[in-house]
Amino acid sequence: MSVIDPGDLHPFEAAAPAPVPSKETLAAAGDILRALAAPVRIAIVLQLRESERCVHELVGALGVTQPLISQHLRVLKAAGVVRGERTGREVLYRLVDDHLAHIVVDAVAHAEEGQKP
Q: Where are the domains of the chain?
A: 24-114
Question: Virtual CA dihedral for 116, 43, 79, 37, nearest 10 degrees?
Answer: -40
Which amino acid is present at 29? Answer: A
User: Among 2.40.30.110, 1.10.10.10, 3.40.50.300, 3.40.50.1820, what is the CATH number of 24-114?
Assistant: 1.10.10.10
Whether pTM > 0.75 for this model: the answer is yes
What are the φ/ψ torsions at residue 10 (nearest 5 degrees)? Answer: -120, 95
Q: How confident is the model at residue 16 (pLDDT cuts 50, 70, 90)?
A: confident
Give 69's contacts (C-beta < 8 A, 6+ positions apart).
Answer: 40, 44, 55, 58, 59, 62
Q: How confident is the model at residue 100 (pLDDT cuts 50, 70, 90)?
A: confident
